[in-house]
Amino acid sequence: MTLKEDIYNNFVNDFSSILREKIDGLEISELIFLCIGTDRITGDCFGPLVGYKLKYLFRDEENIKVIGSLDNIICSHNILNVINDINNKYETPFLIAIDAALSNKSNIGKIVVSKHSMNIGSGINKNNIYVGDMSIKGVVSRDLRNPKYNFKLLQNTPLNLIMNMADSVAQGICDVINV
């Protein structure tokens, strides 16, 4: 098995089990994927790339919404307005936040699924905004614990890494949802 297949399989197993655990017994009007990030910084385009791919994969699904993509960026500047819009528009949504993350060097390339909300922008000292009923983080670079250096690392993250991770997440989500 290749590393890419291993990452995909681990993601599918984690996503499937956590999603089932979280939605068991809930009445959900829509499943919403909130894909956070910007296309102006390579390391931070993980969320918008996943959103771009999910919009295509779920284009015919009525109760699955994808908010945030390469043509509709969701970032720290507009996230509060987006969350308010979601709360006003949908009765009982289940929100899955997707964003890039920083960690130690050995975790780069891993996809972390959590049954908890996500603190967006924490790696570069942005607002403490927690979003999602669960979250998916793509570890794109190491965390130097210094916002200035972390920002520089995000600017120099290889696009190939981000694309491979986004492919795995989008296809994995689609495979789990369609089962």
| 41 DSSP assignment | S
Distance of alpha carbon 166 from alpha carbon 177, whole angstroms:
16
- Give 63-83 pLDDT, tens digit per residue: 999 999 999 999 888 999 999
> Domain residue spans in the chain?
3-17+28-40+51-172
CA distances from 62 to 30, 66, 102 (A): 8, 11, 34
Per-residue model confidence (pLDDT) at position 76:
81
Distance of alpha carbon 171 from alpha carbon 33, whole angstroms:
14
Q: Does domain 3-17+28-40+51-172 have CATH number 3.20.20?
A: no
Distance of alpha carbon 4 from alpha carbon 128, whole angstroms:
32
CA-wise closest residue to 108 among 28, 25, 46 = 46
- Give 15-46 pLDDT, tens digit per residue: 999 999 999 999 998 999 999 999 999 989 99
Residue 38, SS3 per DSSP? coil
Per-residue model confidence (pLDDT) at position 126:
62
Euclidean distance between the first and the last CA atom of the chain, given in angstroms as a whole number: 23
CB 111 within 8 A of CB 169: yes
Q: pTM of this prediction?
A: 0.93
Can you spell out the DSSP letters for 96-147? Answer: EEEEEEEE-GGGTT-EEEESS-EEETGGGT---EEE-SEEEEEEEEE--S-H
CA distances from 40 to 23, 116, 119 (A): 34, 27, 20
- Give 115-147 pLDDT, tens digit per residue: 999 988 665 556 678 899 999 999 998 877 877
